[in-house]
Amino acid sequence: MKLTDYLKPELIQLGMNFSSKKRALETIGTLVTDYLIQDETENDHSDVDCFACLFKREKLGSTCINYGIALPHAKLPNWNGDKPIAVFLQLENPIDFETADNREIDLIFAVIFPDKEDDEYQNSLQQIVKVLNNKQLAKLLRTTQSLEDIWTIFEQATLPEEELDEENKEDISSQPKDE
């Protein structure tokens, strides 16, 4: 799985400044809604709808992972898109994201999922966490100042080699044996 499966270059923003987590989520809502309006014929969702679903999910608990990265995510009600939409924000200054360890975050990779009843949501989210939970990747995303270079980093970011091997073993072991 590649992060660029869901992320588009126009949904990458660098050097952003926010006074709070709420402002960051509002911006994500606007970016996603603007993208949906441009990409689809439907106009049924507002930036407030998108913000509300992200904010509601955040109230359940912080979506921060490691290394100063937040992963806000939610299903957008009544959106029947083909695949999730991701937004990446590199922050100029860290913000409080209400983490259990009180660490601030400066990288946000948000994902909006279609409103479908299936396991794809959970599986995709787990894969994204595995890819982003990498100290070297966080350092690169934090220090890179060009959209093109950030895009290249995301194109090359995949699951760690040992996890790919484990997944391949599972795939092989679940296949029927020839008799």
Residue 28 in any domain: the answer is yes
Q: Is the pLDDT confidence value at 116 over 90?
A: no
* Set 73, 74, 91, 150: catalytic member: 73
Q: Is the pLDDT confidence value at 104 over 70?
A: yes
Residue 177 in any domain: the answer is no
Residue 61 in any domain: the answer is yes
Residue 176 in any domain: the answer is no
Q: Is the pLDDT confidence value at 12 over 50?
A: yes
Query: What's the pLDDT at 62?
Result: 82
Question: What CATH number did the domain enclosing 126 receive?
Answer: 3.40.930.10
Q: Give the chain's mean pLDDT.
A: 84
Residue 167 in any domain: the answer is no
Residue 50 in any domain: the answer is yes
Residue 57's Cβ-count burial label (10 Å; 0-12, 13-18, 19+) is middle
Number of structural domains in the chain: 1
Report how far Cα 145 is from the mean position of its chain's Cα atoms.
19
Each residue of 152-166: pLDDT tens digit?
A: 999 998 765 544 444
Contact between 103 and 113 (Cβ < 8 Å): no
**What is the spatial distance between Cα 35 and Cα 38, in angstroms, rounded to a whole number?**
5
Q: Is 45 a catalytic residue?
A: no
Q: Which residue has the tokens 């949501």?
A: 121
Structure-model confidence comparison of residues 42 and 97, the more confident one: 97
Most confident range (mean pLDDT) of 58-67, 102-111, 116-125 is: 102-111
Residue 49 in any domain: the answer is yes
Q: Is the pLDDT confidence value at 71 over 70?
A: yes
